[in-house]
Amino acid sequence: MHHLHDIALNVLKGNLNVQSSESLLILTDSHKQDIAKIFYEAGLSITANTMFMVMPLLEKSGQEPIHAVSELMANADVTLCITSHSLTHTLARKHACEKGGRVATMPGVTLEMLEQGALHADAQEIEATVEKYVLLLNTTKDIRIVKDGHELTFSVDGRFGIRSTGVIRQPGEYGNIPSGESYIAPIETSANGEILVDGSIANIGVLKEPLLLKIKNGRLEEAIGPDGPPLLALLGEGNGRVIAEFGIGANKSAILCGNVLEDEKVYGTIHIAFGSNAPFGGANASDVHIDCVVKSPIVYFDGQQVI
């Protein structure tokens, strides 16, 4: 287990720049506390102000934690969320960052993911690739995705790209670890068309058969395929079905493994998410955020092919 301690220490020092004077919160749930304890022990070797909290298990990504968890996050210098479902796109995370905290999320992380794959990528290469796509997103108005004869269009006019490099060192910063993606909140009512999801879906895993999503005026209306009913059940009948995110994978070491934490970072993929995007520049509030990964699409920014 010593090598896992070293990996955890590298994350805390290298990715998060935790200092001996800072407070560090290791936040977990009953399903992930064994992995979280590795980071807790590593944290104690950096700062005596390391806390360990086992929170109630969430039902899905994007769901808000209970108030006590939110308050603890808001009062820690650094929070590392090693949980079953993602807290990245929650108001709790947003509030913690607004108070100057740094928040890293590792939803669904496994021991295998610590030892191989995205976590071991070239950080400088990721930062350069992420930056390239973010600069493009910032000057783009309309995006078109083509996949196996299906086409989805939407607007990002006036919205700004977000860098997710896995390097979270400044007050108010947040992101996934491991990471490597550029993403943006589309205009919520602008998406129309179809997209064929053939990679994986958060909370569902790697797809055995492609899933065809039909979207009208920004809202998911149909999900055709074996995993359609589970996806619609996760999203619910309300704002969970509104388009929330367009993301581009930028990590050449990431592996499609069924865990969206890593899957959405795979180089050559894109992902569309539904549900909450208010915490990162959008206008849709929801208690869910579900990412859908697409392999090898063709993507156009304002009519120019970029992927």
Residue pLDDT, tens place only, 24-52: 999 999 999 999 999 999 999 999 999 99
What are phi and psi for residue 175, nearest 5 degrees? 160, 175
Above 90 in pLDDT, residue 2?
A: no
C-alpha distances (whole Å) from 160 to each of 133, 183, 192, 246, 281 are 11, 9, 20, 11, 8
> pLDDT tens across 257-301, in order?
999 999 999 999 999 999 999 999 999 999 999 999 999 999 999
Tokens of 178: 């491991």
Q: Any alpha helices (H) in 222-289, and if so which ranges?
A: 228-235, 260-263
Contact 213, 232 (CB under 8 A): no
- Give the model's confidence band at 130: pLDDT under 50 very low, under 70 low, under 90 confident, else very high: very high
Non-local (6+) Cβ contacts of 151 within 8 A are 144, 145, 193, 194
Helix or strand (DSSP H, E) at 181: strand 181-184
Distance CA 166, CA 174 (A): 8
Q: Which residue segments constitute the domains of the chain, with CATH numbers given?
A: 2-108 (3.40.1830.10), 121-305 (no CATH)
Average pLDDT, the chain: 96
Helix or strand (DSSP H, E) at 222: strand 219-224
> pLDDT tens across 177-211, in order?
999 999 999 999 999 999 999 999 999 999 999 99
Instruction: Check residue 140 and give its pLDDT.
Output: 98
Non-local (6+) Cβ contacts of 41 within 8 A are 5, 8
- Give the model's confidence band at 227: pLDDT under 50 very low, under 70 low, under 90 confident, else very high: very high
Above 80 in pLDDT, residue 1?
A: no
Instruction: Check residue 52 and give its pLDDT.
Output: 98
Query: What 3-state class would DSSP assign to 204?
Result: coil
Phi and psi based region of residue 110 (left: phi greater than 0; alpha: psi -120 to 50; beta: remaining): beta
For the segment 112-138, the average pLDDT, to the nearest whole number, is: 94
> How many other C-beta atoms can be found within 10 angstroms of the C-beta atom of residue 173?
17
CA of residue 5 relative to chain centroid, distance: 24
